[in-house]
Amino acid sequence: MHHQTSRFNPVDIALFLSAMSLARRAQRVRQVPVPEVVEDIASRGGGGHSHPISRVDLAAARASRKWHQWFGGLDTCLVRSLVFGGLLAGRGEVMLNIGFRPGDEDHAIDGHAWMSVDGRPVGTDGDLARERYTRVLTVPFLCGSGEQ
């Protein structure tokens, strides 16, 4: 009898399940203003405090992608950032950032969402933000008590 070794350890599975719960809530961004979605997610988030930011970023990206594949939801930088921010909530000053830059075509604009912690962009989408996006909205992920 051959046993297949899992790619995930129990900690990764728990983090992924937390991220999936947040990915479901992040889908509300289609109908609800972004600050309200952030408030809802931040009140239920956390769970990523003791993990390296890169692992939390990966869990958020996987959850967003799987939610899209399995349930047809959005898998955008905004949804990934909402999930990522929810997992990071309470880990310093966690902020959702939304910005724009001129697009490749005439009269086009390119939008992007990313997370920052203590003023520094974090994660894969944070790395893309360094490409001259002008930030137009910043929303803090405040924990349930109103503290960050």
Q: What is the pLDDT of residue 48?
A: 73
The count of domains in the chain is 1
1: in domain:
no
2: in domain:
no
4 has a pLDDT exceeding 70: no
Higher pLDDT, 9 or 124: 124
Q: 3-state DSSP call for residue 114?
A: strand
26: in domain:
yes
95 has a pLDDT exceeding 70: yes
Q: Quote the pTM value.
A: 0.86
The separation between the first and the last C-alpha atoms of the chain, rounded to the nearest angstrom, is 50
- What ranges make up the beta strands (E) of the chain? 94-102, 109-117, 120-122, 134-140
Q: Which domain holds residue 126?
A: 10-140
145: in domain:
no
Residue-wise pLDDT tens digits, 13-37: 889 999 999 999 999 999 999 999 9
124: in domain:
yes
